[in-house]
Amino acid sequence: MLKDIIKKEIQETITSAKFVFTFLLCAILILLSVYTGIVSYHSDQKEFSAAVALNKKNLESQPSYGYLAQLGTKINKPPQVLGAISSGVDEAVGRVATVNIALDPNLVDSKYESNPVFSVFGALDLTFIVKIVLSLFAILFTYDAIVGEKEKGTLKLTLSNKVPRDRLILGKVIGGFISLLIPLIIPLILSLLILLVYPNISLSGQDWIRLLLMFLMFFLYLSVFFTLGLLVSARTNKSSTSFLVLLFIWVTFVTIIPKLSVVTAARLHPIPSVHEITAKKDAFLQQIQVEYQKVGVNYMKENPMKKGESVKEFQDRIKKWAEVIQQEATAKIDANNAALELDYGAKKRSQVSLAINLSRISPASALTFSTMSLARTGLDEHDRFLASIRGYKPIFTKWANAKMMRTIDFSGTGQTAKVVLDDMPQHKFEPETLSKSLARTIPDFGLMLFLIIVFFAGAYVSFLKYDVR
Amino acid sequence: MLETINLTKRYEDGQLAVDHLNFKVEPGEIFCMFGANGSGKTTTINLLLNFIPPTEGTALIEGIDVTKEPLRSKDFISFVSENVTLYGNFTAFQNLDYFTKLAGKRGLTKSDYAKALKSVGLQEEAFNVRTKNYSKGMRQKLGLAIAVIKDAPNILLDEPTSGLDPKSGQEFLNLLIQMRDQGKSVFMSTHDIFRAKLIADRVGFMKKGRLVIMKTRRELEGEDLTELYIQYMEERPESELK
């Protein structure tokens, strides 16, 4: 009998106009989003390679290490292949940071900066399609699953037979869910094929696992709305009421809770503005510059050229001293900036984590955070990348200072040492491991499963007591 | 056989929908229950189908207490409701196939379904048409075909002829007569006194949840059923009633 109920549910749905409409729209949107994601990744990758090459060329063309130290090297954020599925914060945050001896590095030049219209509409990635469009379809498939049968009179007719209610609801759940998965699975398989055959796109074994976990998250997310639809359908007496209630919950989950949690977190955990931090950094930089100018003048007064000291010996002594002093000054600036950043970062992280945890009661937020983490396009990966650049800054500074001081030209002939980058330390960044990303997404998987169980149990119990009249 | 013994239903808001109802529908008998809207006819059917629990009393189908053995009792009853739209995207065959399987009948062929559909007067060309394109009369006939194919000894009908055109209504009554002749117990709640008069072996009048009068076909001879209906449905003290 269960098989008959499941079969009927599937047959009834796939012969309906709403299924045909859903299937077509799903296919178009999913394939379009994956295709545009891949194309965008491809162009980002090209842009990244060009930027890296240009940076090297730029550095090599500098007339001296002094110029190089001031100009700094540019660190470009490599694009993530899974950003094609979930672009996360990658388009909103900067893609390139300048590391020089003076300023604290920051990622700038985001896609949204290049084209602010993007920030208004957001990215059309697969996560967006699932979060907004497919969750609405899940509601569309279930809002009248029970109450609709009551209105048609088929529920009474069904239960006038020897049909246990628990079997009927189980059959409806299984059959309904299979019907919902059909318009999702076929385009998803096609999009996987596109990923496989598209030239210059290669996914590692770990990327495939991440991708499958993202798809699993999509299914769980849709199951939340599917079971919620069943629950509301089993708690209402009119399908129009059921639809309105579900629409209200959907709006709350998808837009209100995430936005409200950010505002609430900002109120509960205020943090100093970026301008405040920059002003503090600038003030300290000025202070150090003044301080070390005095130190320089004093040194020259107290340590003039000694008797018997040749000009070359004197210049070498000055160079050595200047290198030590320069390293000391920049180390102080770096330490101060690092302390300010650490404090600001801790406060910011605490605010962000409060906002994330508050918004996590919404499955839409849980979906966003988990897929971002799995695609390595989330806030944490961004923070880690920025931290790696900040960690690289003192290394670069030390190298640049040493090179700069050792090649000071006192002759005034304008001749400078040629810039050679062979021994320049390179920035290294290790992307987050799968196990760490997975650990980060466990609360989101847990929340989804919890909601599915609660909504399904609610629907099940409600249907056992449902007034079929 | 259908039977109610002191069957009572009081809803949570205090409304007494069925008040100590006692009646029996024997095999080969059509019992028509009259009553105004809200008199308790549909509540009685809901109690017999165990869709709602009684406050007091018992409803029996083939001697089975429907509250004690609800699933077993369903084997012995077919139900035809007033406004069943069935599954609109399914054809008559598909609807019939699904409900037949729910009724526990297996191994029936398309020709068995066609026979059942023909027996209720559905035109052959309508068998493969989606039922959302059916008229009300066609849907009622399909509902009856579902009852026919289940072949339960008891049939419950909740105002099945309301909204049917005269021809469809007459065809429908003929089918009920056939069922009665096959020895089935037929209980029909209705407002349609003209049609009921033609087929009922017994009639009952419900008012405010109570069965205020019950008459056999013989007792009805020479009576004006319309007059009787109006008389009983009017708000008069029961002592004034015949």
Inter-CA distances, B37 with A120, B41, B205, B233, Å: 58, 8, 12, 10
**Hey, are the CB atoms on A157 and B84 less than 8 Å from each other?**
yes
Last residue of a domain, one of B104, B130, B151: B151
In this predicted structure, what is the pLDDT of residue A119?
Answer: 64
Domain count, chain B: 2
Query: Do B65 and B129 belong to one domain?
Result: no
Q: CB within 8 A of B147, min separation 6: which ones? A: B78, B79, B80, B155
Give the full edge-to-edge strand order of the sheet including B2-10. B16-25, B2-10, B56-61, B64-65
CB contact at 8 A, B172 and B161: yes
**What band does B123 get if pLDDT is binned at 50, 70 and 90?**
confident
Domain range for residue B103? Answer: 84-151
Q: Judging by DSSP bridges, how do beta strands B2-10 and A107-108 pair with one another?
A: unpaired
Same domain? B55 vs B18: yes
pLDDT in tens, B155-181: 999 888 776 777 777 877 888 888 899
Q: Give a yes or no: residue B168 inside a domain.
A: no
| CB A407 within 8 Å of CB A417 | yes
**How many Cβ atoms are within 10 Å of A416's Cβ, its own excluded?**
15
Q: Do B72 and A162 touch (CB under 8 A)?
A: yes
Q: Which residue has the tokens 């009787």?
A: B228
- My answer on whether B117 and B60 are in the same domain is no
* Residue B152 clears pLDDT 50, i.e. is over it: yes
One domain, residues B5 and B42: yes
Q: Is residue B167 part of a domain?
A: no
Q: Where are the beta strands (DSSP E) in A107-188?
A: 107-108
pLDDT for the residue A314: 86
Is any Cβ of chain A less than 8 angstroms from the Cβ of B42?
Answer: yes
Residue B100 Cα, gap to closest chain A Cα (Å): 9
State the greatest distance between any 2 C-alpha atoms of chain B, in Å, as a whole number: 57
How many Cβ atoms are within 10 Å of A448's Cβ, its own excluded?
22
For residue A12, give how far its alpha carbon lies from the nearest alpha carbon of chain B (Å): 6
CA atoms within 13 A of residue B97's CA, in its CB half-sphere: 17
Query: In chain A, what residues touch B87 (CB-CB under 8 Å)?
Result: 8, 12, 152, 154
Same-domain pairing of B62 and B95? no
Instruction: Pick left, alpha or beta for residue B225 (phi over 0 → left; psi -120 to 50 → alpha; otherwise beta).
Output: alpha
CB within 8 Å: A161 and B81 = no
Are B91 and B138 found together in one domain?
yes
The answer as to whether B176 is a domain residue is no
CATH number at residue B8: 3.40.50.300
Choose the closest CB to B71 out of A158, A164, A468: A164
Please compute the mean of the pLDDT values over residues B212-238 and round it to a whole number: 74
CA B70/CA A162 separation, integer angstroms: 8
Residues of chain A with pLDDT below 70 are 114, 116-122, 410-417
The residue with greater pLDDT, B221 or A247, is A247
Rg (CA), chain A: 30
Residue B93 lies inside a defined structural domain of this protein: yes
* Nearest chain A Cα distance for residue B55, angstroms: 16
* Whole-number percent of chain B with pLDDT over 70: 95
- What's B91's DSSP letter? B
Q: Are residues B187 and B221 in the same domain?
A: yes
Residue B172 lies in a domain: no
Same domain assignment for residues B60 and B157: yes
Instruction: Give pLDDT, residue B34.
Output: 87
Q: Are residues B13 and B72 in the same domain?
A: yes
Tell me the C-alpha to C-alpha distance, in Å, between residue B79 and each of A31, A122, A211, B188, B226: 48, 55, 51, 10, 27
- Asked if B157 and B48 sit in the same domain, the reply is yes
Q: Are B117 and A16 spatial neighbours (Cβ–Cβ below 8 Å)?
A: no
Structural domain ending residue among the three candidates B130, B151, B172: B151
Tokens representing residue A11 in the block:
């047959």
Specify if B166 maps to a domain.
no
pTM (2 decimals)?
0.82
| Contact predicate B25/B2, CB 8 Å | yes
- The per-residue pLDDT for A412 is 62
What's the pLDDT at B241? 47
Token output for A202: 């290669």
Instruction: Name the packing angle between helices A165-197 and A135-142 (round to 10°).
Output: 150
pLDDT of residue B242: 46
Residue B170: inside a domain: no
Domain check: are B60 and B128 in the same one? no
Any idea how long chain B is?
A: 242
Chain A / chain B CB contacts < 8 angstroms:
77
Of B133, B151, B169, the domain-final residue:
B151
Phi/psi of residue A293, each to 5°?
A: -65, -45
Residue B171 within any structural domain of the chain: no
Alpha-carbon distance B41 to B18, whole Å?
Answer: 8
Mean pLDDT of B209-214: 86
Q: Is A385:A428 a contact under the CB 8 Å cutoff?
A: no
CA–CA distance, A304 with A42 (Å, rounded to integer): 60
Residues B22, B48 within the same domain: yes
